[in-house]
A and B are shown apart, each in its own frame.
Chain A
Amino acid sequence: MGISGLTKVIGDHAPDAIKENDIKNYFGRKVAIDASMSIYQFLIAVRQQDGMQLTNEAGETTSHLVGIFYRTIRMVENGIKPVYVFDGKPPVLKGDELKKRLEKRTEAQAAMDAATEAGDTENIDKFSRRTVKVTREHNEECRKLLRLMGIPYMEAPCEAESQCAALVAAGKVFGAASEDMDTLTFGSPVLLRHLTFAEARKAPIAEIHLDKALQGLEMSMDEFIDLCILLGCDYCDSIRGIGPHRAVTLIKEHKTLENVLANLDKTKYPVPDDWAFKEARELFKKPDVIDPKDIDLQWKDPDEEAIVEFMVGEKNFNEARIRTAVHKLAKLNKQGTQGRLDSFFTVKPKDAEQVKLGKRKAEEKKEKLAAEKKAKAAAAKKKTKTPAKAKK
Chain B
Amino acid sequence: MLEARLAKASILKKLLDAIKELVTDANFDCTDSGISLQAMDNSHVALVSLLLRASGFDHFRCDRNHALGISLASLGKVLKCAGNDDTLTIKSEEDGDILQLVFESPNVDRVSEYDLKLMDIDSEHLGIPDTAYDAVVKMPSGEFQRICRDLSVLSESVAIDVDKEGVKFSAVGEIGSGAIKIKQGAAVDDDGAVTTVEMSQPVSLTFSLKYLNNFAKATPLSDTVSLNMSADVPLLVEYKCSEIGYIRYYLAPKIGDDN
Contact = CB atoms under 8 A, between A and B. Distances in A.
Interface in B123-155: 124-129
Contacts of A347: 124-127
Interface string B244-259: 0000001011111111
A5 B250 CA distance: 42
Nearest to B47: A341
A344 B208 contact: no
Contact of B44 (A335, A341, A348, A350): A341
A249 to B, nearest CB: 28
B127 A336 contact: no
B19 to A, nearest CB: 16
A343 B45 CA distance: 10
Contacts of B46: 341
A27 B254 CA distance: 12
B225 interface: no
A339 interface: yes
B126 A27 contact: no
Nearest to B67: A354
A350 B254 contact: no
A121 interface: no
Interface string B211-252: 000000000000000000000011000000000000000101
Main secondary structure on A side of the interface with B: mixed
B120 A348 contact: no
B88 interface: no
Contact of A341 (B65, B67, B250): B250
Contact of A339 (B65, B122, B253): B253
A25 B44 contact: yes
B107 interface: no
A128 B208 CA distance: 48
A344 B42 contact: no
Contact of B126 (A21, A339, A345): A345
A22 B252 contact: no
A346 interface: yes
A348 B126 contact: yes
Given A337-B254, A337-B258, A341-B44, A361 B126 contact: no
B157 A341 contact: no
Nearest to A350: B125
A275 interface: no
A336 B157 CA distance: 9
B40 A341 contact: yes
Interface in A314-349: 335-348
A263 interface: no
A269 interface: no
A24 interface: yes
Chain B interface: which size bin? 20 to 34
Contacts of B233: 344
Interface string B37-54: 000101111110000000
Given A337-B255, A338-B252, A353-B65, A27 B127 contact: no
Given A27-B43, A345-B128, A347-B127, A338 B120 contact: no
A339 B125 contact: no
Contacts of A343: 252
B206 interface: yes
B213 to A, nearest CB: 15
Nearest to A16: B122
Nearest to B156: A335
Nearest to B64: A353
Contacts of B255: 336-339
A342 B125 CA distance: 11
Interface string A338-379: 111111111110100110001001000000000000000000
Contacts of B253: 339
Given A298-B259, A353-B65, A340 B126 contact: no
Nearest to B65: A353
Contacts of A24: 43
Nearest to B27: A354
A210 to B, nearest CB: 18
Contact of B47 (A338, A345, A350, A361): A345
Contacts of A361: 120
Given A347-B124, A353-B65, A340 B252 contact: yes
A339 B252 contact: yes
B20 to A, nearest CB: 19
A27 B46 CA distance: 13
B45 A338 contact: yes
A340 B45 contact: yes
A22 B44 CA distance: 12
A27 B127 CA distance: 22
A336 B257 contact: yes
9 contacts: A336-B157, A341-B44, A341-B252, A345-B47, A345-B126, A347-B124, A348-B124, A358-B122, A361-B120
Interface of A: 21-22, 24-25, 27, 298-299, 335-348, 350, 353-354, 358, 361
Q: Closest 10 interchain pairs by CB?
A: A339-B252, A336-B254, A345-B126, A348-B125, A348-B127, A25-B43, A336-B256, A341-B252, A347-B124, A340-B44
